[in-house]
Chains A and B, each alone.
Chain A
Amino acid sequence: MSNKSLIVENVSKQYRLGQVGTGTMTHDFKRWLYKIRGKEDPYSKIGETNDRSKKGVSDYVWALKDINFDVKQGEVLGIIGKNGAGKSTLLKILSRVTSPTTGHIKINGRMASLLEVGTGFHPELTGRENVFLNGAIMGMSKSEIKSKFDEIVDFSGVERYIDTPVKRYSSGMHVRLGFAVAAHLEPEILVIDEVLAVGDAEFQKKCLGKMKAVSGEGRTVLFVSHNMGAIKALCDRGLLLENGTLTFDGNIDECVNRYLSINQSGENTGRVELPKKGFGSGEARINIVEMIDYEGQVSETVLYKEPIKVRIHIDSEISVPTASIDIKISDNNGTLLFHALNQYQNIPFSLNNGKNVVEIEIENNLLPGRFMITPGIHNASTSLTLDMHENAIAFEVIKAAKIASESYPWEWILAPSKINIIKLK
């Protein structure tokens, strides 16, 4: 199965920033003047890479620059990158919503793109009418929809409302019906953008299962998501986009790790200053979070089996005699692993009016990998959260010992702190 179903060659896309106004017309006119004289577009050479956080000089920006890749038939490709890296632009070009500024794309087979579920739903029409309309927009013929209609309704789970106008639907039902139609498309190539971010847990599971089934049938899938768990579960190969350029193409696990490291290194490891208040009343504020290594130095890494030390600087406007402080540790995919709270172990904690610095030491049972910390402070007597920062700092547990020559026996299990085994018989 080495048939290629998609070849992307030198694809770039340029956008003009700012508003359409008289200036645009001058540019259009200049372009046209150059064109009739047989010269190259004067604006196609300028433009900068697309870094949204920095102010640029030019009005033109390259949302995508020289993208090259190809996809074999039956391959499930994950596309990841930060917001604004160009993922959606790439999908838009692939699904022919917009055209590239330069480059070519060759597609083999029928392609369906799901940039949104329920595209073209008309609020006044009933669910039944919308299934037909939406299916046809996605490229199905009427007879195809008719033959799958019962299956679609069954999958969506909104049978009771099928003859009610869609405007009366809850947003969840809307999405369910939309995805149900999309799931019954039978294209050779399926392009999906973040549609799983909606719907309840049960439905998300159903969607993931359906997508797995689709890829199992030998169809090509291109999947964009910020959910690393879903990406890893579905895809074999990953593309990493950074500021409009393709920086990695290969094994999905490596791709995800790269993404997480560009996402975090230098940004929120070691020492993180939090200039704004997070979730909470803000009467006391977490200003700085630091990871401390065994030598007492600020560090991005924690050695395997070595305690995790977090130092938190708090500025408080009030004094809280019975306060509580907690640390949540989650993995790469954002799944919460455990929650450490001083009250669990009856450790008293209070906040003084003014500056406070606390150091928290947590027994380290984590296997090597990357983890994130969510620190929080609360008023224990009122149960009010004062300040909390979701995934404020990241750290890495590394496979190394204090002294280079020494090494730990690796236990490939995530060991709980304490186990009790009671023999009943």
Chain B
Amino acid sequence: MNFTTEIKPKNKWYDIDFKAIWQYRDLMFLFVRRDFVSVYKQTVLGPIWFFIQPLLTTATFTLIFSVVAKISTNEIPAPLFYIIGLTFWGYFSTCLTSTSSTFVTNAGVFGKVYFPRLIMPISIVISSLIKLSIQFLLLLMVWLYYYLTTDILHPNITILLMPFYILLFAGLGLGFGIILSSLTTKYRDFTFLIGFGVQLLMYATPIIYPLSLLDDQSYIIKSVVKYNPISGIIEAIRYGLTGSGVFDLGLLAYSFVFVIILLFLGIITFTKVEKSFIDTV
């Protein structure tokens, strides 16, 4: 006789039900909608908050790192330099922090009903994408202002790789997030680690400084930043938009391979943990 579902104590590591995820796609989009809509319910300014936040951060960064600390921005106007870095870093860090708490925050729902658990982190990545696109609009406005008023920006054809860059960010955020969420389930120690870990990682990424600033630094510092898979992507985006930055195909390929391996490991640990996490959460 044929059975549609079989429940076993443990699945094989490659036993990942992608078909079920596809079947539940409606749920995924409803979660995306919920995350997006519920954020600005009962606020007056609504989605405008998505603009205000990066605007103020960019202003603060410009003031502190450029005006006060005088860190070079490689000829790019400081506000544009920071807003590029912050928009994409913001996307990566929201993806990571929100997906990393998947099991803990959704224990209530997960404890009552089954649906492919991966739906949750994927929906977070997608709803953050909406936020990213709103903030990207702001970035474009700033860019357009400098493009029209000065002649220091030299956008080029590599900017067409933008969707690929965004996919890489999504993959990095999701990959790190689901691995961490699997670990946080049993040992909450990781929640503390994620809190300051993300902040530390930002300083190891060329967000507030250009990669070229490290040329005369020691080898260790240089390689830490260089082998950080986010660095190459951020620099490539800057290069595409302004003509100043590092476009290194080797670094991008490295990031790409990194994302593939990360996602692979992430999905395996996630599906292993999701089966009975409710007993230890």
Contacts and interface: CB of A to CB of B under 8 A. Distances in A.
Interface in B102-120: 108-115
Contacts of A139: 24, 115
Nearest to B115: A137
Contacts of B34: 122, 125, 129, 133
B41 A137 contact: no
A106 B6 CA distance: 4
A352 B77 CA distance: 95
Interface residues of A, number: 46
A157 interface: no
B1 A4 contact: yes
A107 B108 CA distance: 25
B5 A111 contact: yes
Contact-residue bracket for chain B: 35 or more
Contacts of A120: 109, 113
A368 interface: no
B131 interface: no
Contact of B114 (A20, A100, A103, A113): A113
B10 A113 contact: no
Contact of B112 (A99, A115, A122, A142): A115
A95 B114 contact: yes
B46 to A, nearest CB: 13
B276 interface: yes
A122 B108 CA distance: 12
Interface in A80-128: 92-111, 113, 115-116, 119-120, 122, 124-125
A44 to B, nearest CB: 10
Nearest to B11: A99
Nearest to B5: A107
Most buried by A among B5, B8, B24, B114: B114
Contacts of A113: 112-114
B217 interface: no
B225 interface: no
B275 interface: yes
Contact of B26 (A92, A93, A124, A141): A141
Interface string B10-24: 100000000000001
A139 B115 CA distance: 7
A105 B7 contact: yes
A282 interface: no
B199 interface: no
B38 A125 contact: yes
A63 to B, nearest CB: 10
Interface in A1-24: 3-4, 7, 15-16, 20, 24
Interface in B254-281: 275-276, 278-280
A138 interface: yes
Contacts of A272: none
Contacts of A129: 33-34, 37
A307 interface: no
A369 interface: no
A40 to B, nearest CB: 13
Contacts of A320: none
B2 interface: yes
Given A99-B275, A99-B276, A107 B113 contact: no
A109 to B, nearest CB: 6
B141 to A, nearest CB: 30
26 contacts: A3-B1, A15-B279, A20-B186, A92-B278, A94-B7, A95-B113, A96-B5, A97-B113, A98-B276, A99-B9, A99-B275, A100-B9, A102-B9, A107-B3, A107-B6, A108-B4, A113-B114, A119-B108, A119-B112, A120-B113, A125-B37, A125-B41, A133-B30, A136-B24, A136-B30, A137-B113
Given A122-B34, A136-B26, 17 more contacts: A3-B1, A95-B113, A97-B111, A98-B275, A98-B278, A102-B9, A105-B7, A107-B3, A107-B7, A108-B3, A108-B4, A113-B112, A119-B109, A125-B41, A129-B33, A139-B24, A139-B115
Interface of A: 3-4, 7, 15-16, 20, 24-25, 92-111, 113, 115-116, 119-120, 122, 124-125, 129, 132-133, 136-139, 141-142, 165
Interface of B: 1-10, 24, 26-27, 30-31, 33-34, 37-38, 41-42, 108-115, 186-187, 275-276, 278-280
